[in-house]
Chain A
Amino acid sequence: MKRIFDTQLIGPFAAMVIAALIVAMTTDRFLNPGNLSNLSLQVSIVALIAIGSTIVIFAAGIDLSSGSMVALLTMILAQMLKFADMPLMLALPLILVVGGLLGLFLGLITAYGRIPSFITTLAALIAFRGLALTFNNGSPIFSLDPALEPIFYGKLFGVPLPFFYLVFFYALAAFMMNYTKLGREIYAVGGNPAAAVLTGINVRKVQTTTFVIAGFMTALGAVLMSARLNSGSPNYGQTLELQAIAAAVVGGASLAGGRGNILATLMGAMTIVIVQNGLNLNAAPSSVQNIVLGLIILLAVGIDMWRAEISALMGRLLGRSPMKPSSKEKRDA
């Protein structure tokens, strides 16, 4: 197994730093403390959801449902707060439980119903959005609770609260993936499900658990989304699932499962947000932002896949013999 800080982090970390350097060169507003704390706000929702998406990917699954689930959960939360007059302290834990249960439902269908997670969560992506529209005749619900906003905008020692959420949940996830039985089993199931069965790992239970985690993290994202805008809307969270998956991929997680580092996902999310922020600061239109995001994803995966060719090319350019290829696919002859 790997340590928490290992070589897998070097690439994503370098990508993040390079992105930051480039953006910092284009505009001096980037390193402004206000902008930096704004960055941690911007990245927080997608980065928290990406924890769940990445863990599902580690187990060789995929979760396409999170964006729609955010919309559904903000509507349920809004309903509870605005129309059921539920106290915030009850509604918040309840919404996290609902998120976990939705994840459980998707996990059970996938693992025990033997339907590929791509299909299960694609169906959920469509159905959850529809379900969100059944609340309040499909209209957004505003001004939920004045106590909701500080959850997103509050500060501790001058640092935005979402920063602490990120630190806490990524530390927890990194601990789980690297130091616990469950984490190891997730990597094992993703690495080789057939072998996992024969070693006595309860593969279906592990797969289901990853979806419960993803549902819970999506609910956290939904709470932050509601707090940010003090509202619930069936339109929230569009393409959020893709951004979360993009963060995992830019962080180097293998979509085939079994490989990747959860902290790299945070760096992947940061890279994406830094680039978006840089484009915003330079007043680039959103069309350009989407094109750039697409290119980043291709580049991140490409660098990983073409590692052997790149090192050979570098070797030729530098006049040295090529380094030994270390591509994931390489097997000994």
Chain B
Amino acid sequence: MTTATPLWEFVDITKAYPGVLANDKVCIKLLPGSIHGLLGENGCGKSTMIKTLSGVQQPDSGQILYNGQQVTISDPQVARDLGIATVFQEFSIVPTLSVGENIFLGNMPRSRFGVIDWGRVQDEAARVLAEMDVDISPDAITGTLSVGEQQLVEIAKAIAIDARMIILDEPTAALGEDEIERLHQLLRKMRSRGTAILYVSHRLDEVERIVDEVTILRGGRVVRASGETEINVSEIVSAMVGEDIGEHYPKEQNATPDVVLEAQGLSTNSGVSDVSLMLHKGEVLGLGGVLGSGRTEIARALFGTDELSSGQIILSGKPVRFRSEIDAIRAGLALVPENRKYDGLFFNFRASGNITASSLGSLSRYGVLNLRAEEQATRELIEDLEISTQAEEKTVNFLSGGNQQKIVIARWLFSDSDILILDEPTQGIDIGAKIAVYKLINKLTRAGKSIILISSDHDELLAMSDRISIVQHGTIVRTVAASNLTHDDLVRASADVPQRNIEEVFA
């Protein structure tokens, strides 16, 4: 494969931002018909590279060769004309428009009189979707589709312009297992037609599955170039982090027999039906299942967000009733939501304001805050959790995803909550920060806190949970000791396919 002529060659791309050299002489060769993984921790320069390749910004120096000829990608329109399509992490679709309109957005086929040729929009969109083997109607309003389907619409846009190079930035961050598989099938199909694909992901299990070559960046430089690295997860991890990180999942067993939370037959109008579970002191209970199986809804039901239509929550032996999140928080529950950007963080606050937001009552007397105690506690937590010290002075929008996630969890550490529900706590953060979150989970359980962990990363769920409850269609179908499950079991169980016989545990 290395003998083929590269379709695109990026030579010594250098880009500096004030105070930081984001890309330092980065070279990448993209071959037609090959899926090329671009890996690295947050802040390693991946995003900068993607912006350069897609014409969003210009490199300070370096050459870009297309079929051996030097070109300049001066803006995104030029990139498009050169056959480059970028699917950014944050979608660029308009949810209120139809699928067809989105596919041709900015590029609508016109009739002779300059008006949009709706017939062709319809036909072409249908053709592209059929080519992709995707069963989505061009007339469907995009916002009504699932996240996975919206992702496919993004890719349809790339196919519609006949892109010969597609850049995918974290394409699976929001997808369920079967949707990921569908995406991968599509990518393989495009590969076989000679498209060059640049695949950026934090999910190393996927990289192993689909990528042909990898380039690994660290600190803006290429630490492993194409061809040099076997596609082997542990080697990739050490190359990315720059050191041998030892145990990827540092799981501690801290579960005790005391039951702290029990749910009996919970149902809500939001789709939770007859959910019963038990959580022990110091335990991590994993909720496994595909996207949309109802895991988040179960969390919302436990946390008082969605009203219970039936069922009972029992906290340390006492029946409780949460009319709102406020009641749940008072009772010692905490929810770290799936989407920290939209539901978790106050971007107008520094670390301190974010960390103390749920404990303002205990931090104040007659309504007046003890700011010194707040700063003190913040400094300790920043040190303890190894959060960037910038967090003391800067508002949290300046921090990396890993630091942001630590701050959201630190909030509940500070408020001394007994039961934490972590919904996708490591989504979109780099491997180093993930390990920090795992260590944090250990620290919490060691202190006798209990955790309900929701994760779509099966390896993580298996490694960090004591027991795993499989969720399907809003209900828990079985609860199994994590050690009795394999990755494959979990995928099959979540996807509702026949099981091999697994001994269930009723704790």
Interface on A for B, CB 8 Å cutoff?
Answer: 1, 179-182, 184-185, 187-188, 190-192, 194-202, 258-259, 321-324, 330-333
The smallest beta-carbon distance between A112 and chain B, in angstroms, is 13
Would you give 18 A-B contacts (Cβ < 8 Å), ordered by A?
A: A1-B353, A179-B369, A180-B364, A180-B367, A181-B361, A184-B357, A184-B360, A184-B369, A188-B349, A194-B342, A195-B346, A200-B329, A201-B360, A258-B346, A324-B18, A330-B397, A331-B398, A333-B47
1/0 contact string of B37-54 vs chain A (CB within 8 Å): 000000100011000000
Q: Are B19 and A195 in contact (CB under 8 A)?
A: no
Interface residue from B18, B367, B397 paired with A332 (Cβ < 8 Å):
B397
B residues in contact with A179, CB < 8 Å = 368-369, 371
A residues in contact with B491, CB < 8 Å = none
Q: Are A258 and B397 in contact (CB under 8 A)?
A: no
A residues in contact with B397, CB < 8 Å = 330-332
The smallest beta-carbon distance between B24 and chain A, in angstroms, is 16
Contacts A185-B360, A196-B346 supplied; 9 other A-B pairs, CB < 8 Å? A1-B353, A187-B349, A194-B342, A195-B343, A197-B325, A199-B329, A201-B358, A202-B326, A322-B18
Q: Are A332 and B349 in contact (CB under 8 A)?
A: no
Interface residue from B330, B347, B369, B400 paired with A192 (Cβ < 8 Å):
B347
Q: Are A332 and B398 in contact (CB under 8 A)?
A: yes
The smallest beta-carbon distance between B352 and chain A, in angstroms, is 6
Q: Are A188 and B398 in contact (CB under 8 A)?
A: no
7 tightest CB-CB pairs across the interface, nearest first? A200-B329, A258-B348, A191-B348, A199-B358, A333-B47, A191-B346, A199-B357
Does B344 reach chain A (CB closer than 8 Å)? Answer: yes
Q: Are B325 and A200 in contact (CB under 8 A)?
A: yes
Q: Are A196 and B326 in contact (CB under 8 A)?
A: no
Q: Are A200 and B349 in contact (CB under 8 A)?
A: no
Q: Are B344 and A198 in contact (CB under 8 A)?
A: yes
Q: Are B346 and A1 in contact (CB under 8 A)?
A: no
Interface residue from B329, B350, B369 paired with A181 (Cβ < 8 Å):
B369
| Given A188-B349, A330-B397, A333-B47, A195 and B344 contact (CB-CB distance below 8 Å) | yes
Q: Are A191 and B369 in contact (CB under 8 A)?
A: no
The size class of the interface chain B forms with chain A is 35 or more
The smallest beta-carbon distance between B130 and chain A, in angstroms, is 36
Q: Are A198 and B337 in contact (CB under 8 A)?
A: yes
The smallest beta-carbon distance between B105 and chain A, in angstroms, is 23
The smallest beta-carbon distance between B258 and chain A, in angstroms, is 25
Which of A190, A200, A321, A333: most chain B Cβ within 10 A?
Answer: A200
1/0 contact string of B330-373 vs chain A (CB within 8 Å): 10000101000011111111101100011011011001110100
Does B406 reach chain A (CB closer than 8 Å)? Answer: no
Q: Are A181 and B367 in contact (CB under 8 A)?
A: yes
A residues in contact with B398, CB < 8 Å = 330-332
B residues in contact with A195, CB < 8 Å = 342-346, 357
Does B281 reach chain A (CB closer than 8 Å)? Answer: no
B residues in contact with A258, CB < 8 Å = 346-348
B residues in contact with A330, CB < 8 Å = 397-398
B residues in contact with A182, CB < 8 Å = 367
Does B449 reach chain A (CB closer than 8 Å)? Answer: no
Interface residue from A181, A197, A198, A259 paired with B360 (Cβ < 8 Å):
A181
1/0 contact string of B422-435 vs chain A (CB within 8 Å): 00000000000000
The smallest beta-carbon distance between A111 and chain B, in angstroms, is 14
- A191 and B349 alpha carbons, distance in the complex (Å): 8
Q: Find the A residue at minimum CB distance from B360.
A: A181
Does B221 reach chain A (CB closer than 8 Å)? Answer: no
Does B186 reach chain A (CB closer than 8 Å)? Answer: no
The smallest beta-carbon distance between A305 and chain B, in angstroms, is 16
Q: Are B48 and A187 in contact (CB under 8 A)?
A: no
Q: Are B349 and A333 in contact (CB under 8 A)?
A: no
Q: Find the A residue at minimum CB distance from B352.
A: A1
Q: Are B350 and A1 in contact (CB under 8 A)?
A: yes
B residues in contact with A198, CB < 8 Å = 325, 335, 337, 343-344
- A184 and B352 alpha carbons, distance in the complex (Å): 11
A residues in contact with B346, CB < 8 Å = 187-188, 191-192, 195-196, 258
Which of B47, B348, B363, B400: most chain A Cβ within 10 A?
Answer: B348
B residues in contact with A322, CB < 8 Å = 18
Q: Find the A residue at minimum CB distance from B403.
A: A332
Q: Find the A residue at minimum CB distance from B46.
A: A333
Which of A190, A202, A332: most chain B Cβ within 10 A?
Answer: A332
Q: Find the A residue at minimum CB distance from B303.
A: A198
- A181 and B366 alpha carbons, distance in the complex (Å): 9
Q: Are A333 and B48 in contact (CB under 8 A)?
A: yes
Q: Find the A residue at minimum CB distance from B47.
A: A333
- A331 and B399 alpha carbons, distance in the complex (Å): 8
- A71 and B426 alpha carbons, distance in the complex (Å): 55
| Given A179-B371, A258-B348, A324 and B19 contact (CB-CB distance below 8 Å) | yes
The smallest beta-carbon distance between B300 and chain A, in angstroms, is 10
Does B467 reach chain A (CB closer than 8 Å)? Answer: no
Q: Are A194 and B347 in contact (CB under 8 A)?
A: no
B residues in contact with A184, CB < 8 Å = 353, 357, 360, 369
The smallest beta-carbon distance between B366 and chain A, in angstroms, is 9
A residues in contact with B343, CB < 8 Å = 192, 194-195, 198
- A332 and B343 alpha carbons, distance in the complex (Å): 18
- A249 and B311 alpha carbons, distance in the complex (Å): 50
- A201 and B346 alpha carbons, distance in the complex (Å): 13
- A196 and B367 alpha carbons, distance in the complex (Å): 18
- A322 and B17 alpha carbons, distance in the complex (Å): 10
The smallest beta-carbon distance between A57 and chain B, in angstroms, is 13
Which of A191, A194, A196, A322: most chain B Cβ within 10 A?
Answer: A191
Q: Are A188 and B367 in contact (CB under 8 A)?
A: no
A residues in contact with B218, CB < 8 Å = none
1/0 contact string of B255-275 vs chain A (CB within 8 Å): 000000000000000000000
Does B295 reach chain A (CB closer than 8 Å)? Answer: no
Does B411 reach chain A (CB closer than 8 Å)? Answer: yes
